[in-house]
Amino acid sequence: MEYVSLIFSALAFGLSSFTFYWVHLRVNHALHLVRINNTGEFNSPRFAIVNSGSKDILVTSISGWFVQSDQARFSPAQRVEIGEGPSMLIKAGTATQCKINFPASSFTNSFVTSGKLLDGLTESIYEFEFTIDVDWVDCQACSHKVSVPFAKYGFEESGRIRSFSPLDTKHNLYKS
């Protein structure tokens, strides 16, 4: 009988040690960028940053830029809206919505005509790949930066956005 109580005590201690490790010591890193644009709403890219890890993450910067035909980067004037308020802390197991707004006069004729001209169309449409940069700091004081290809945009010569071709729906930022 003495051995039975020792065995139960050892099992309880092992289970509590495993639970302590699983809850407090194990760090699961998982941060995703998920496109949430609806059809027809492509003038302002919308996406969610999802922290499905076990610790909080602080997003330090989000910005977007276009890849021009000569692989140069063009960062237009933009305003990034993140979540419900100014805090960029994303708690473990939560998501926040982000939106990048471009002012109407962001795209000039000289920018547009530096893109890839699409063939076989009745009007001139110039295509650019739009990339989103995300910078964040995790709970282990490690800084990360990832560039994620988001979509391809088509522009008229006047600078108006004409088309939107989404790329991948979901990106794992820790593996990008």
Residue 160's pLDDT is what? 85
Q: Which domains does the chain have, with CATH numbers?
A: 28-172 (2.60.40)
Question: Quick check: helix, strand or coil at residue 173?
Answer: coil
Question: What is the C-alpha separation between 111 and 126, in angstroms, rounded?
Answer: 10
Task: Please give the average pLDDT of every successive group of 10 residues along the chain, which has 176 residues.
Answer: 84 88 73 80 84 90 86 86 82 91 82 87 89 92 93 88 84 84
Read off the pTM.
0.80
- Beta-strand (E) ranges in 17-93? 31-35, 46-51, 57-67, 73-74, 79-82, 89-90
Buried b (16+ CB within 10 A) or exposed e, 138-166: beeeeebebebebbbbbbbeebebbebee
pLDDT attached to residue 38: 63
At 25 the pLDDT is: 67
Q: What stretch of H or E contains 11? A: helix 2-20
Hey, which residues does 49 pair with through a beta bridge? 33, 96
Q: What is the dihedral of CA 164, 167, 168, 174, to 10 degrees?
A: -110
pLDDT of residue 41: 63
Report whether 126 contacts 158 (CB < 8 A).
no
pLDDT at 24: 66
Residues 175, 115: Cα–Cα separation, whole Å: 29
The CB-side HSE value for 126 (13 A sphere, CA atoms) comes to 20
